[in-house]
Structure 1
């Protein structure tokens, strides 16, 4: 019985350590080979969709947006699925062009759409500032 309790406490301590370590070491920009990944979780903390934050990851290669993907959030899945389709509009554009784009929100998912667009814009501006 004592071994079980010790194992549970050790496991919990390890989980907390890993969580805190990941939070401390999370950088908005990471580089892997020739691709830069911008994570807007910390950059756009104040940007909110209908139910909360809607962070994205922006993949940039040779100063072009390769992919934008939505990260976990609390938005209503059926509406958020509609909103995240607009992320494809940024792909293939230079960072400068993507930053200047005026993207329309998706009808029926207006809050989520606006939040995603704002996340991408802030992420690209951060990249431009830090590159």
Structure 2
């Protein structure tokens, strides 16, 4: 398997790992790109329902999650165009993934301001690891040399 396909698979693998773990007083929730899973009682809600039904009156930091999902889909499309069409600016894809990581940091910081709530942005580490592993040489070469 060639490097662009392995990179695309690594980016796609980010879809099935939790991006953020949230514990609101004993009720753990895993936030995935496709939706969130709350335990006790078990509730699964997809991101589309969340955006179209549940966002009215919620704090602004909670909107970082669906924004991150949209940016992630752009990154997937960018990497996919590199594999299928041979046309991709890897710097753009890497930047999109970094922006996804920042959305999860924003969401976690918003939860951290609430008493009794713990939020761990697991996906930040995983997303940045993918960027570092596959795109750091490209990003390093794009930066101007220090003088």
Decide: shared fold, TM above 0.5: no
| Superposition TM-score tier, normalisation by shorter sequence | 0.3 to 0.5
Give the number of the structure whose residues are more often helix, by fraction: 2
Larger radius of gyration: 1
TM-score, normalised to structure 2, is: 0.34
